[in-house]
Amino acid sequence: MNEETLLGIPQESLDRIKRDYQDIPLAQIPKSPMIPQEILDSIPRKFLDLQYANHNERCKLDIYLPPEASPENRVPCLIQIHGGGFVNGDKRDMSNTTFLGVINHGYAYVSVEYRPANKAEFPKPIHDCKAAIRWIKAHAGEYGIDPARIAVTGNSSGGNYSLLVATTNNLTFFEDKSMGNPGYDSSVQACIALYPVINSSSIIEERVMNGTSDGSPATMDAAECKYLGARIVDLDYAFVQKSNPGQYITPQICPIMLRQGMADKPVPYQQAVVFAEQVRQCAGEDRIDFALVEGAGHADPPFKQPIILEQALTFLNKYLKN
């Protein structure tokens, strides 16, 4: 399958996007580039900036539908939670659209906006994500979405949120049903996480192991400190661990696809290795699809290649279509 067919984006647009973005490390891109208007215009069935909760103006989502979705023919859905160091990012950032191409393979794609951690303290951003899932389930019939076949995905900080959504169903600390649609749950049937922050308690030690830190406590410039509102060294260990999805693994955990770069400096690859092993030991091999990407740094081009979408479709088809 060629790239244009897989992604459903005209080759001319793909070539331009590659020239502009693909070989630029994410940290060096001046302000995250948005999805080009030509790509948005090429998607005939889309519903943009739908308000899923009234707590904040940012609580909006975009829905992109495949041609076949209808109330009579409901399709599975992939929900994207964007990254951005917990305080930045946008639901239409180009860097967060690795899986937009699922709409060409029979899936609805929903991209969620949420409150940044510097405006809404932990765990309120997760409250937002779960409120969005409840809203989608409540309105599933209108958009031809099957509420019983939903997966969540995220990269970097969004990967942390996605894993927490996948592992904390029915835990009241992570859900605020006053945000709307309390009669619906926020459970998902599968999760895809790319280079996620997982355990903020061990992250400095792991950076030291990888030669990317001298062991000094992380300052407030670090994403994990922005996430939790203080330097990790100044916070209670038990509180920090509440943000660690590994704390909530059970034998009933939904299937998870996890990809991590071995040259990632902000998020040490050991984070993913430990989490994957925890899932294997608690829930079994079939609950975790894990791979390390040799030589890949944080948000590097390998994570934007068609092979990642192909792997995701194989994973999603196994658990949401078969």
Query: What is the rounded distance in angstroms from the CA atom of residue 90 to the CA atom of residue 112?
Result: 9
How far from 33 is each of 21, 89, 253, CA to CA, in Å?
8, 10, 35
Cα angle, residue 105 at apex, residues 104 and 111 outer, rounded to 5°: 70
d(CA 6, CA 307): 10
How many residues are there in the chain? 322
Report residue 185 as tokens: 């749950």
123 prior amide bond cis, ω within 30: yes
pLDDT (tens digit, 0 to 9) for every residue of the chain, 322 residues total?
544 554 454 566 445 444 443 333 333 333 457 888 888 999 999 999 999 999 899 999 999 999 999 999 999 999 999 999 999 999 999 877 889 999 999 999 999 999 999 999 999 999 999 999 999 999 999 999 999 999 999 999 999 999 999 999 999 999 999 999 999 999 999 999 999 999 999 999 999 999 999 999 888 989 999 999 999 999 999 999 999 999 999 999 999 999 999 999 999 999 999 999 999 999 999 999 999 999 999 999 899 889 999 999 999 999 999 7
| pLDDT given at position 39 | 87
CATH number assigned to the domain comprising residue 167: 3.40.50.1820
291 CB-near residues (< 8 Å, 6+ apart): 258, 259, 260
Q: Crossing angle for the helix pair 157-167 and 124-138, nearest 10 degrees?
A: 60
Range of the domain at 254: 3-321
If you ran DSSP here, which 8-state letter would residue 73 be given?
Answer: B
What is the model's pLDDT at position 262? 94
Is residue 92 within 8 A of residue 34, CB to CB? The reply is yes
Give how many domains the chain has, as a whole number. Answer: 1
The number of helix segments (H) and strand segments (E) in the chain equals 11, 8
